[in-house]
Structure 1
């Protein structure tokens, strides 16, 4: 669903306009496999950064709100966060029927320039993707050079495993798609339980070494290598967390502040 279709169904009338890119794209090679993760929710600056990573003018960027149960308020917030950006925003719901969607998931997703996954319940999202075959479609899109991105559940999903609040009472482990090797911890300093649990799991080797992100920081991977770390402010960071001789090693990654 693009914004015009959504506006007609939701009764909104706001319009999108284009804005100039703040700096040149990092890569425009379709052969590169690109993933951008961040610790919290999408923002206009993160959305602009994703658009830049496509290397295209006015790219098609699809939002997947599966983890929030295709929440209407989340979808509205997505379109608001895309206002005045140089991109064409779309939404792909997962809770659909043949009556309200005539195109296959594959036709929609593999014809996008970028796909951004929203936050919510990672465990439920992964289950839905697997039964719908979306997991394999996303892999095909990644290998095709379509930029994949997201925060919270939308960052956890790309790794082998990580820490989730998708189950009752406590934080637990969730298995991801494994496009990015190792583990992941979103909301690193925003939620008090996240960091100590992540450290304990990496130290015990239940988790592989991996990457942690504050809510307003992100990491861009190209072919599974860290290419750039960005943040929305000076206090937000991304980290590489590993175990060495029974002790945790936390390395803060050098970052660039995204322009407003």
Structure 2
């Protein structure tokens, strides 16, 4: 009898553990990227993606070195929106009252990564183990989003102004199996550099976004193209028959 009870308990434990694993495995993994920096329209779009009233949304300003004005701008943009805003600061001094980076990240419904120096941001994340926690958040279905450095980081790689003198390339976290170019229309050098890198095989085919345009990825696949106006667009750039093909992606206009 004792053996039967023990076996039943073990069976229930395994079933519960398996159910939990399936729940995580089957959850949609969502990333929303846009070419430029955040504003109320994009923040409101992320709020909608959570499908929750007053979601907890975490802003990560590592790329801007936790700049105080940048953080204030975040809170200012959130003031009249239906969310609970938080900030993950990485330029800190230890204190017993602090939550860990993992606790702060995994307690939120969505994460928005700000712009700035992509190369430095990724180096800090790796040193602090934040890159690993972000992967865990992604797998659990926490919404990931961002523009500029905050969009480039999710891809395999792309062009960046993180180094002196000229645009170069940087490797991302590879949550999305494509290359990426933010600020596509803004800087004249970005488009030809991105085209040449894909044509020569330095970068994989990928997605480019103008500053006020964005793309929604569900489980690694684009499901929607959006823009704040008719002048900002999204593109898919690839090589067909040895030549660059730039495909304009039809966008839904979104407003606050």
- Normalised TM-score (structure 1): 0.87
Which residue of 74, 79, 88 corresponds with 2:84?
88
1:85-164 mapped onto 2 (5 Å cutoff): 85-99=81-95, 102-164=98-160
- Give the distance between the partners of 1:41 and 1:81, measured in 2 at CA: 12
- Give the distance between the partners of 1:188 and 1:259, measured in 2 at CA: 21
**2:205 counterpart residue number:** 209
Asked if the contact 1:51–1:59 (Cα under 8 Å) also holds between the matched residues in 2, the reply is yes
Q: Which ranges of structure 1 fall in alignment gaps of 5 or more residues?
A: 1-28
Secondary structure of 1:142's counterpart equals helix
**2:230 counterpart residue number:** 234
CA deviations 1:75-121 (Å, max 9, x no partner) are 01111111211111100111112128611000110010000000000
- Give the distance between the partners of 2:98 and 2:235, measured in 1 at CA: 42
Aligned residues: 232
User: Offset of 1:182 from its aligned partner?
Assistant: 1.2
User: Offset of 1:209 from its aligned partner?
Assistant: 0.1
CA deviations 1:169-192 (Å, max 9, x no partner) are 110110000000110000000111
Which residue of 177, 183, 194 corresponds with 2:179?
183
- Give the distance between the partners of 2:63 and 2:156, measured in 1 at CA: 18
Indicate yes or no: 2:146 matched with 1:174. Answer: no
- Give the distance between the partners of 2:127 and 2:195, measured in 1 at CA: 32
Secondary structure of 2:177's counterpart equals strand
1:43-82 mapped onto 2 (5 Å cutoff): 43-82=39-78
Higher share in helix: 2
- Give the distance between the partners of 2:139 and 2:93, measured in 1 at CA: 28
- Give the distance between the partners of 1:79 and 1:144, measured in 2 at CA: 26
Which residue of 238, 249, 252 corresponds with 1:253?
249
User: Offset of 1:55 from its aligned partner?
Assistant: 1.1
Secondary structure of 1:137's counterpart equals helix
Q: CA RMSD in A?
A: 1.3
- Give the distance between the partners of 2:116 and 2:97, measured in 1 at CA: 23
Secondary structure of 1:150's counterpart equals strand
Secondary structure of 1:45's counterpart equals helix
| Closer/same/farther in 2, CA of residues 62 and 125 from structure 1, 3 Å limit | same
- Give the distance between the partners of 1:255 and 1:240, measured in 2 at CA: 13
- Give the distance between the partners of 1:242 and 1:211, measured in 2 at CA: 9
Secondary structure of 1:127's counterpart equals helix
Asked if the contact 1:30–1:146 (Cα under 8 Å) also holds between the matched residues in 2, the reply is no
